[in-house]
Structures are given as C-alpha cells and as structure tokens.
Amino acid sequence: MAVLVAAGGFCALVQGPQWRSSAALATVNLAVSLLFVFTGLMLRKEHGQQGTAWALMLAGLFRSVDFIDAWHGPWSPYTLVFGGVDRIFGAWALLRYPNPALSPLHRRYLVAFAGWMLAGRTLLAVTSTARWDGAPTASWWPTLFPDEQLSEVLNYVAHGGEAVGGITLLALLMIRLKRTRGLDRIVITPIIVAGIAAVVAGMASAAMMMLSLSGTPNGAYLTEGVVDFAIPVAFLIAVLQRMLLVRNVTELTAQIAAGGDLGAVRRALRSILHDPTLDVLDASEPSLLALDSGPPGRLVSYIRAGHGAPIAVVVADPVLVRYRELFDAATAASGLALHNAQLQARAAQAQLEQVKASRARIVEAELAERRRLERDLHDGVQQHLLAITASLTAAMANTVDEEASAAFREAREGLRAVLAELRDLAHGIHPAVLSQSGLGAALEGIAERLPLPVSVDVPPGRLDAAVEATLYFIACEALANVVKHAGADSVHVTVRAGQSRLVMEIEDDGIGGVAAGACHEESSHGLANIADRVGALDGDVVIDSPPGQGTRLAVMIPCA
C-alpha cells in the first residue's frame, strides 16, 4: 500500500500544471499509472513474473512522467526524447507474460525499437529549438545543429519508424496469440486483445505528433489513456484466471469420481489443464522404460498416494510448469482418486473371491449331497429291494402251487423293474462310475444309452471331483438337448486339458440355429442350467450354431 501511495503522489506531482490545463487528461493518466503499478505489484507474487511486474510498474510511472513538460523549464527536451519509454516497457510486458523470459526474437525487437526511438528523438532534439518544439523561448534546449528543415524531416522519419515499430508489435502479438496453446492461450487472450487496442491508439497519437510540432494533441492522448486502461485490467483478469483455475480441481475430483481408472484420470486432467497431449501411464517398469525413450522436454510428474510408491506417471506439456500450483493440485487430486479406486478394486476383488469360494463350496456341497443320496439309495433301498427279490425267488422254489408261483414271479419282475429305475435314478443323482472310474468312463456310459452314435475323447487321468461332476452333468444336459431338438445323426464329445483351463466341446451335425445368447434366456432351461453350472466354477460357455451346420457347445473352466 505504501508503494502505491508513493507512486500516486509521484505521478500526480510530475503532471503539475496539467491538472489546471486539462484535468481530465491528468486524471486519466494518474488512474492508468496507478493501475499499472498496482498490477505490477500483484504480479510480483507470481513465480517467474518479477520481470513482467517491473515492466508494468515502470510503464505506469513513465506514463505520467511523459507529461512533465507541463512544468516547462528544462523538462521539455526530456519529454521529446524519453516520451515513449512507457510504450517500450508496455511492449516488454505484453510480449513476455506469462513466460519467465523474453524470446530472442522479442528481445531483438525491443532493442531495435528502443534504439530507433531514442536515437531518432535525440537527433530531433539536437536539430531543433525550444521555439520550434512549442516550448517557451527562454527554456533550455540541447540544440547542437539547428536546422528547421532537417528537424521537420527527422520528425517524419522518427515517428514514421515508430509507426512501423507499432505495426511490427501488432504482428508479433497476433502471431503469439495464434501459436499459444492450452492454459497460456486462455490467460493471455485478453492481454493480447488489450495490447492490440493500445498499440492502435498509440499509433494514432504518434500520427498526431508527427503532423504537428507545435500543437499538443491532448484529445489523442486522452483517448490513448482510456484505451491503455485495458492493459492492466487484462493483466489483472489473467491473475484472477490463474487463481480460479486452481479451484477447478474440485471439478477434476467430480469427473474422476465417476471412474477412477487411468483413462478417466487422463480425460479429466486433459480437460482441466487444457492439454490434449497429456498422458497418464501406470508406474510399471515397461511404462517407465517407454517414458525414458519418449520425446525430451516433456513435464513429468509422479502421482503418489500419500508418501508411498508412485501409482501413476503424468507426462504433460512443459508449458504447465508456469501453472505449477494448479498442476500439483490436479495431480494430488488424481492420486487420491486413483488410490480410492485401487482400494475399491481390492475390496471388490476380495468380495469376488469370497463369492467364488462360496460358489465352490456350494458345488462341493451339492456333489457331496449327490454322493450321499446315491450311497443311501445303493446301500439302503436297493439292498432292501434285492433282499425282497431273493426272498421271492426262494419262495418260488419252495412252492408247488402254480398260482402262487406265478404271483411270486410277477412280483419279482416288478421288483426288478423298480430296481432298474432306482439304479437309473441313482445314476442320475451321481453315477458310481464317475467316482470310481472318472469322467471318460461316465461319458462312455451315457453314450451307450443314447439312440445315436456318440464318440467320446477324454484324456486319461483324473480331474478334480467337482470339475468332473460339473462336466458330466453339463454333457448329460447338452446330449439330452441334442436328442430332443437337434435332429443330429452323430455327436462328438471332446475334453482337452490345457495349462490354464479345461475345455469340453460337444459338437453335433444337426440343424443348428441356436442363438449365441440362448444360455442366458429364461426359455432355454437346459442351456441356462449349463451356464449356471459353468459360472459356479468361474468358467465360460460359447455356442457356435450356424443354421443348417450343426451346433458346437464349448465349455471352458479355469484350472485350479
């Protein structure tokens, strides 16, 4: 505040009599000068912007000093020679912000422009007199070679060159706006627009000065001052924009919350940081090796969850170094989102493992219950019926009554039929051959009872009991469907054991036409049962059934 008050007092003092001759111009000059100084003080707080801050403050101070000739005395030559210095400092700020330094091209331009302005105006001063320049005759003037005609020519040349410099600055500003991208473009657009307007107004003032050595174009100066007011305002808008951009991290968090994977983080960071080239990689060794072989000069930052190991890598446009606060806040929010997503994924994986374990226990329990029922039927009811049959056979042998013998014979045949049905029932619940001899023998037993040729190809050896039972009952269901619906002449059942999964294929030469998603339809009970059984072991079912070309049912179950 003290600096601003001192600057205000200085700017008001140097204008002196200008307050009496043109209070409006003096007021505008003071307001513009103070706003330049205030904006410079604000920019000093930004990293790497001290140079731009000093340029703005000096532009504001020298703007008021331009009007020190209102005091007359020895100040008129100063105004003639140094009256445009504020424009040099203004161009410096316009061409530099938000970069930490001027580019070589812009530096050369400023040196050439300042050299032309100071050299041309100095020659104009030493070849003119106070009277020719409109100052009081008694005023001191650095006249060395008074030549009114030469002075007039130099006036046109000097100010004409300044006009060329202004046009060049317009071109440089437009090129800079066109080439700038990302956040820089958002920030500098209002500054470039304000700068172009100020350059046009400055060129108009220069034209007025060139047309008259004796008159003071206060109207043009007033218009130029009002337009120049837009430059510090644009810089303040840029400062506010940079502050508000940091607050966009809350929007980033909301975007990532919808999906915390690397793709969601990449899209959110590209949107918030306005960098379509930004990429987010996982922290795996292949990604880090690919990063080392990538193009140089990119901004690289590691996303961490707290102080732990990196969980992702952000590769971005190096322009974002100038927006480090926003970039760091965005990557920190991304780290939290990714960490939360990892925790959720772990919890979901743990829950999935619990579901898988539960389904496996259900399969094992079903298998154990089937075995118990088969054993109870075999050891209990079947043995009891066999004993009754033996008793009837003995009774037949001991009776001489033909009618009684016929009755015993009929009862025995009925018991045999019941025993056969009971064996089929026990076989359907859990065939003893499956437990005793394995899947191949059990499938061969099914094939023998079907009314069409069935070839079975099962590798030797035993599988897990739950897997054997699942494949067996799936084959029973599928072969029953073939008999009922396929109109096939033959069926092939093949079981293959790979390193990571078991595959059972049941292929017929029937009419085909089974929909690929039929196993998930409620109307297809048999296929739905197959899908449920396979799903209980975390497997997959694939159906290939082109019309008229048969059906191939493939069941894939992971190996333990």
pLDDT tens-digit profile of 360-401? 666 565 656 555 565 555 555 556 566 667 766 777 777 766
Q: Report residue 513's pLDDT band, with 50, 70 and 90 as the boundaries.
A: confident
**pLDDT score for 372:** 59
**pLDDT score for 1:** 74
What CATH number should be reported for the domain holding residue 477? Answer: 3.30.565.10
Asked if 182 and 260 sit in the same domain, the reply is no
In DSSP notation, 163-176 reads HHHHHHHHHHHHHH
Q: Which residue has the tokens 């009277």?
A: 131
**CA 313/CA 331 separation, integer angstroms:** 9
Name the residue with higher pLDDT: 495 or 140: 495
Strands 491-497, 454-457: pairing kind: parallel
- Assess whether pLDDT exceeds 60 at residue 424: no
**CA 102/CA 54 separation, integer angstroms:** 14
The residue-averaged pLDDT of 348-354 equals 67
Out of 19-23, 191-195, 352-356, pick the least confident.
Answer: 352-356
Q: Report residue 115's pLDDT band, with 50, 70 and 90 as the boundaries.
A: very high
Take residue 26 and report the two structure tokens written for it. Answer: 């003096």
**pLDDT score for 231:** 87
Question: What pTM did the predictor assign?
Answer: 0.58
**CA 76/CA 141 separation, integer angstroms:** 8
Percentage of the chain exceeding pLDDT 90: 8
What CATH number should be reported for the domain holding residue 121? Answer: 1.20.1070
Out of 144-158, 221-235, 379-393, pick the least confident.
Answer: 379-393
The residue-averaged pLDDT of 1-19 equals 80
CB 368 within 8 A of CB 541: no
pLDDT (tens digit, 9 = 90+) per residue, 283-312?
776 656 655 555 667 888 887 766 667 778
387 domain-assigned: no
Asked if 11 and 159 sit in the same domain, the reply is yes
CB 528 within 8 A of CB 520: yes
**pLDDT score for 80:** 76
- Closest by CA to 467, choosing from 371, 375, 559, is 559
CB 299 within 8 A of CB 287: no
CB 57 within 8 A of CB 86: no
Name the residue with higher pLDDT: 501 or 192: 192
**pLDDT score for 214:** 45
Asked if 159 and 270 sit in the same domain, the reply is no
The residue-averaged pLDDT of 469-480 equals 82
The residue-averaged pLDDT of 78-95 equals 85
Asked if 215 and 252 sit in the same domain, the reply is no
**pLDDT score for 108:** 95
Asked if 232 and 87 sit in the same domain, the reply is yes
- Assess whether pLDDT exceeds 70 at residue 537: yes
In DSSP notation, 17-43 reads THHHH-HHHHHHHHHHHHHHHHHHHHH
Assign 284 to helix, strand or coil. Answer: coil
Among 353, 372, 390, residue at a domain's last position: 353
**pLDDT score for 91:** 92
Take residue 532 and report the two structure tokens written for it. Answer: 């449920």
- Closest by CA to 338, choosing from 282, 270, 403, 387, is 282
Out of 67-76, 114-123, 317-326, 528-537, pick the least confident.
Answer: 67-76
Provide the domain limits for residue 254.
246-353
The residue-averaged pLDDT of 392-414 equals 71
507 domain-assigned: yes
Element (H, E) at 405: helix 402-429
Asked if 177 and 253 sit in the same domain, the reply is no
Among 245, 267, 283, residue at a domain's last position: 245
CA distances for 545 relative to 503, 508, 552, angstroms: 18, 10, 6
Ranked by mean pLDDT, the top range of 26-30, 352-356, 529-533 is 26-30
Q: What angle do CA 14, 17, 23 make, to 5 degrees?
A: 100
Q: Mean of the per-residue pLDDT values for the chain?
A: 77
Asked if 189 and 72 sit in the same domain, the reply is yes
Element (H, E) at 499: none
